[in-house]
Amino acid sequence: MTPRVECTGAHGVVVMHGAGNGDKERNLSLAEEFAVRGHPAVALDFSGHGQSTGELLDLSLERRRDQAAAVIDEVFDASRPLILVGFSMSGQTVADLVDLYGARVAGIMLCAPGIYAKAAWDVPFGAGFTSLIRQPESWRDSAATEAYARFGGRALLVVPEQDAVIPDGVTELVRTALSTRADLSVLRLAGADHKLGAWLAERPQDRANVVSALLRSREGDDDAVGIGTAAFRSGR
């Protein structure tokens, strides 16, 4: 999505769907919401999803990172700071991209995020991935928590009222990690379930609210400013 006019300090926004039947179509309206605010945005299909090529069973967390990185490098100039938005399984992908791009990532939005054990990261979905992630609390050994604990930019954790997919312990682990250094806000959506991409696609006001919650500055902090108006606070 290309804005009519880019805002000052515009960021490149990447919106990533979850697993299962997730695809970019349900995220296009969210990408458009960022574009309306002056930030160029892209939603992508991972292989085996939507209009992509490739087989889902050959996909892995590692390949999801690589595919997202390929889109970023193709669409955005290397000097443009990034905002990463991840739904469900892409909670891990966002963390992997934070590790890859470092301080270039200025903001992240995690919607009912999942994270996964280090042992499962490079395992294809059709070659034992499911059995690895079904081991009790395997997510506690995720590299994502380390990446999020190091992240010092703006972060929004979006939590549905009812989530039958992501354990509460995962959400709390992500929240705790982001509380280490990030400028973190948590937004709980009443009436929402795990499928937040589809839920937000049908609710324009809620889409506007989550984007506003991410782009705002830390309340009462004169040195931190909203994404798209200036740089983040120095020294993070």
* C-alpha span between 47 and 53 (Å, rounded): 6
pTM equals: 0.91
> Of 62, 71, 18, which Cα lies nearest the Cα of 44?
71
| Neighbouring-strand partners of residue 14 | 42, 84
CA distance 87 to 48: 17
Give the three-class secondary structure for 208.
helix
In 116-161 the beta strands, taken as DSSP E runs, fall at 154-160
Strand, coil or helix: 3: coil
pLDDT at site 227: 59
Query: How far apart, in whole angstroms, are the C-alpha atoms of residue 14 and residue 83?
Result: 6
**pLDDT average per 10 residues of sequence, the chain (236 residues):** 92 94 90 97 88 84 97 97 98 98 98 98 94 96 98 98 97 98 97 96 96 74 40 28
The predicted pLDDT at position 222 comes to 33
The amino acid that residue 179 corresponds to is S
